[in-house]
Amino acid sequence: MNPDSAVEPLSYTPEEAAAALGPEWTATLEKAYRWMALGRAFDARMQGLQRQGRIGFYGAATGQEAVNVAAGLASTSDDWVFPGLREQLVALVRGLPLEEYAHSIFGDALDPARGRQMPCHPTARPAHYVSMSSVIGTQISQAVGFAYALRHRRERGVVLAFFGDGATSSNDFHAGLNFAAVFDLPVVFCCANNQWAISVPAERQTAAASFAAKAPAYGLEGRQLDGTDFFAVYRELSMALRSARAGGGPVLLELRTYRLTPHSSSDDPRRYQPAGWAEEGARRDPVARLEAWMQAHDLLPADRRAKIAAAADTTVRAAVRAAEAAPPPAPETLTEDVYASRSSGPAEGTE
């Protein structure tokens, strides 16, 4: 995370930063950077473990940290998150313990899903974070249905519905945005546009000027912003959440990011990304951009940065040790948590 001259600078004065983040802006920045550092360290560690055969699969969120951390910090405990594929850091910021997330990746006996869900697909009810299914776009209509239920129950929560650029080509995108707009539901649609739906570039998904430009056709507002700029993402998400909470209805935010790692541990982007893509992505690295800005404004001395990096590494290693020390799920747990009740055997006369 050492920024260099190739990193695209964030052009904010301290006054503009305060306006974007609120009166406690320096504390918010400190928390944001710590969470980004932890997310980056965890991604790197998990990718290494997958290559060593110690876990079976991993999908990193490297390059999307500004979006995820801003969503976690800007949302409230009343809000709910329906993730796409790379929003696990949102759950961590909202209260999912890292060790519990590690157990879910290893699929061990302490995994709340007992090893029956893919890695990187956690669920965290206390954090109001719903497990993803990996079926493209389905979470969009599910999030809208949940928002309808919140309205019906007169609860204050807003639903954050995340999805990638590829999911905008799904039927659920149309159905979800249309239903939310017609019923004026408290939903913030977040299109995390990392410009690649695995190997399909964004320009093959739509002929529209942007994904945000699709919003007016459904009767809602759409805004495109730099998803590698923590200040911009936090400001826009905060405004969208406040508006939806006050009855202002849904909004579509297109958060343009760069995928700095393969789509998943099963992918090789060198086969389809053009020359220079990785270099351009590195220039827009959200962690390096925020780090450089904080250093330039004397908010991140070298010793503090080193301590944050060391603390992140220690936390990640402790979570991995705990997960690797846990036994695999017992075979009898395969049918637990499936039915509300289970009889001891077939009823008399049914065989």
From 71, 282, 281, 286, select the one nearest 195 (Cα to Cα): 281
Q: pTM of this prediction?
A: 0.92
Beta-carbon contacts of 340 under 8 Å, excluding residues fewer than 6 positions away, are none
* Type of residue at 76: T
pLDDT at residue number 346: 53
**What are the b/e assignments for 36-54, b being 16+ CB within 10 Å?**
bbbbbbbbbbbbebbeeee
Using a pLDDT cut of 70, give the percent of the chain over it: 95
**Spatial distance between the Cα atoms of 6 and 236, rounded to a whole number of angstroms:** 26
**Residue spans per domain, the chain:** 14-335
CATH topology for the 14-335 domain: Rossmann fold (3.40.50)
Q: Which of helix, strand or coil describes residue 164?
A: strand
| pLDDT at residue 336, as a whole number | 83
| Residues of the chain scoring pLDDT < 70 | 1-5, 342-351
Q: Which of 187, 290, 298 is nearest to 234 (CA)?
A: 290
Report how far residue 199's alpha carbon sits from residue 8's, in angstroms, rounded to the nearest whole number: 25
129: which DSSP letter? B
Predicted local distance difference test score (pLDDT) of residue 261: 87
Q: Is residue 60 within 8 Å of residue 86, measured between CB atoms?
A: yes
- Which residues neighbour 245 within 8 Å (Cβ) at sequence distance 6 or greater? 156, 158, 186
pLDDT at 344: 53
Active-site residue list: 259, 263, 272
CA quadruple 27, 239, 227, 119: dihedral sign: positive
The half-sphere exposure of 270 on its side-chain side, counting CA atoms within 13 A, is 1
In the β-sheet with 159-164, what is the strand arrangement from edge to edge?
Answer: 80-82, 159-164, 187-193, 251-256, 221-226
pLDDT given at position 1: 44
pLDDT, position 345: 52
Q: 229 Cβ partners below 8 Å, 6+ apart?
A: 10, 66, 286, 289
pLDDT tens for each residue of 187-217: 999 999 999 888 888 889 999 999 999 999 9
Burial of 99 (0-12, 13-18, 19+ CB in 10 A): middle
At residue 351, the pLDDT reads: 43
